[in-house]
Structures are given as structure tokens and as C-alpha cells.
Amino acid sequence: MSFGRLFWGIFRDKLAIAIAVESAALCRVIVHGIVELAGTLNAFLKSTDGRVPMAVEEGFDRGCELFDAGEYFEAHEVWEDLWAEAMGARHAFLQGLIQTAVALHHAGNQNWKGTRSLLASSLKYLEKGAKDSDPVDVAALTDKILDFEIALQKKLAGEVEELPFFKVPLLQRR
């Protein structure tokens, strides 16, 4: 769950209680609590340069594990939950990652048209979202996608048998 959604849920619940009992004193207590919660959230976001590192988002690591195991459709399902709540560059990055997973799923089913279309699209989204892609090394991922596209062209031309399926390249932890 995103912090924004969590904050809104708490705010909505507390406000509903205050309105239901029509108590000015209770309203003041609730508003004070909400302001305190907003301050805590603001301090946390400042400590992380305004964003939550993707590695701590629930499900991201699980999606990487599934992708790396060749379970591309399942990885797409896990990441799609994160994508639905993401905004800005993170939203674009996750869309690129999801499209990469689905492209490889299509490749496993020999749906070459779907594979090529999604790989091309995934590169555009990965480029848009590169600034918020932690912990994935987008440059390395882009290289792997381009290598895969070249191998796919060779496979379709009958020059190679196997495609170079790959894992999600993660940045080195410091």
C-alpha cells in the first residue's frame, strides 16, 4: 500500500468519526493527530529524497524472484499491483518492467509479434522511468533487452535456436 493511500485511509476514518459525533473537541484532537501523522510522513519522505526506495515496496523483490525463475507472467502480476499505486517516473519504470516480463512470456509461447511489440514499448517506458528505478540497473536491463531483440531476429531468420532469457540486473548494494 502506498503512503498516500495509507494516509488518506487514516484521515478519512478519523474525519468520519468526528463528523458522526459532531464534537468540536474531538475534531480538534483528530486534526491534531492528522497533522502529526503528516509531519512524520514528511520527515520520512525527506530522509529518502522524497521517495520510498523500490526495494522496500512490498512485492518488488518477489517479482524479481519470479522473473529470474522464468515465471514472467507471475512477475508481471506482482509488479502490476505496485504499478497501480505508483506515480511519475516510478509508474513509467514499472510499466517498462511489466512489459518486459510479458514480452518474455510471449516469447516463451512463440508469440513473436507480441514479443517484439512489447519489447519496443518497454524500452520507452524504462527510459522515462530510469530516474526512479532503484534497485534495478536500467542501463544493463536495456542492454539485455536489445541483445534479446537481436537474438530474436536471428531466431526468426533461422540463424539460432535458443533465445537468451535473462534475469533482472540489480544494482550493487553499498
Tens digits of per-residue pLDDT, 28-77?
776 677 777 666 666 655 555 555 554 446 688 899 899 999 999 999 99
Question: Minimal CA–CA distance to 5: which of 85, 83, 82?
Answer: 85
Bridge partners (DSSP) of residue 170 are: 136
Q: Could you tell me the pTM of the whole model?
A: 0.67
Q: Does residue 134 come out as left (phi exceeding 0), alpha (psi in the -120 to 50 range) or beta? A: beta
Judged on CB neighbours under 10 Å (0-12, 13-18, 19+), 51 is middle
pLDDT of 152 > 90? The answer is: yes
